[in-house]
Amino acid sequence: MKPGFSLSYYVDGVLSGNRVVLGQAITLVESFLPKDQENAGAVLEKILPDTGKSIRVGVTGVPGVGKSTFIEALGLYVVRQEKKIAVLSIDPSSPLTKGSILGDKTRMEELSKNPNAFIRPTASGLAIGGVANHTREAMLLCEAAGFDVIFVETVGVGQSEVSVKKMVDFFLLLMLAGAGDELQGIKKGIMEMADAIAITKADGDNIKKASEAQADYQHALHLFSTPDSGWKPKVLTTSALSGDGIDKIWKVIQQYRDQTEKSGYFDQNRSDQNIAWFHDCFDQLVRADLSQHQSVRSNLISLEEEIRQSKLSARSAAQQLLDRYHQAIQKP
């Protein structure tokens, strides 16, 4: 352990719900330094028995859909039900300015002051897979710190939604009514991952349009088969301004939990997610391991170039890369 790191400081702090230590622990798991990673692994191992008790909710939607105000409204509602909530935000658009979206201090102002709420951006870091792992681990730390509901927020325009879907129990997609489909920039597959779609800003003149959009999306969802969960995705309308529909969304999440816990899907899904995560971690470790060997790294680049020029088949290239990798491990 590096000087200054104390396993019990992190573990005891997190388990007692100390928000400062929780924040430090999340910083630790986000670190790419090998020593930090090792320490983070030790902390996670210790808190593991105290994880898994929350409901994990993914929330996505394009910029402008009103994600922050929605999460603030829903978050405040849930906090009033005597629950502790954590909001983990992923901002894939700002890999360099760590957590830039939270630079905006007015974001979730009321919620962020609430003692039962914890809001934290996740650095986008290097790879999407990497981000997902950091967020997953941040989620575990929040659970160990006693949070009952974890919201994982993404921007809804990129690949990160798929990663988030793989780590949450319930996936909520926010949509605007009548914004024009192209404007909404819904990427392939995102709509189909949703356990619920909420049409936001359903207030004032917008109410009628929101109801129409609700019918439209309900129809579109109806075209797809029932997902493995056995849950039929719901479409709702909501307004963070008037508060309309916020309670219904929370009720739908509760219904989902009840139904899938009863069917056994809830636990099965988490178990499957963990196994898939393990394999993802392993693939990432191998990839990181490859690039640690100079000879393998340069081999990879030249193989990709040969493939692009149709000089080499994928099969042969993969075999050559594996051979080179073996050599590097045998003679470091």
* 152 membership: H or E segment, kind and range: strand 149-153
Interacting residue with a second copy among 255, 263, 295, 316 (CB under 8 A): 316
Site stretch for a second copy (CB under 8 A), options 8-16, 94-102, 104-112, 216-224? 216-224
CA dihedral 267, 271, 276, 279 (to 10 degrees): 170
> CB of residue 295 vs a second copy: minimum separation in angstroms?
15
| C-alpha triplet 202, 205, 210: angle, nearest 5° | 35
Size of the site for a second copy (CB under 8 A): 65
Partnered with residue 89 across adjacent β-strands are 121, 153
- Check binding of 281 to a second copy (CB under 8 A): yes
Considering the rule CB under 8 A, would residue 152 count as an interface residue with a second copy? Answer: no
* Residue 179 interacts with a second copy (CB under 8 A): yes or no: no
Minimal CA–CA distance to 325: which of 297, 306, 284?
297
Residue with tokens 């196994």: 275
**Residue 140 near a second copy by CB under 8 A:** yes
Name residue 100's amino acid: S
Q: Would you say 89 or 184 has its CB closer to a second copy?
A: 184
Sole binder of a second copy in the list 6, 81, 224, 254 (CB under 8 A):
224
Tokens of 172: 């909520």
Q: Which stretch binds a second copy (CB under 8 A): 107-115, 120-128, 251-259, 280-288?
A: 280-288
Candidates 15-23, 87-95, 100-108, 278-286: pick the segment binding a second copy (CB under 8 A): 278-286
Tell me how many degrees the CA angle 42-3-285 measures, rounded to the nearest 5: 40
Quick check: 32 binds a second copy (CB under 8 A)?
A: no
Question: Are 173 and 198 spatial neighbours (Cβ–Cβ below 8 Å)?
Answer: yes
289 binds a second copy (CB under 8 A): yes
| Binding of a second copy by 225 (CB under 8 A) | yes
Indicate which single residue of 217, 231, 265, 266 sits in contact with a second copy (rule: CB under 8 A).
217
* Sequential DSSP letters for 68-124: HHHHHHHHHHHHHTT--EEEEEE-TT-SSSTTGGGGSTTTTHHHHH-TTEEEEEE--
The answer to whether 138 and 123 have CB atoms below 8 angstroms apart is no
Q: Mask: binding to a second copy, 35-64, rule CB under 8 A, as x and -? A: -----xx--xx--xx-xx------------
Residues at the site binding a second copy, with contacts judged by CB under 8 A? 40-41, 44-45, 48-49, 51-52, 133, 136-137, 140, 181-182, 184-189, 191-193, 216-217, 219-220, 222-227, 271, 274-275, 277-278, 280-286, 289, 303-304, 307-308, 310-319, 321-322, 326, 329-330
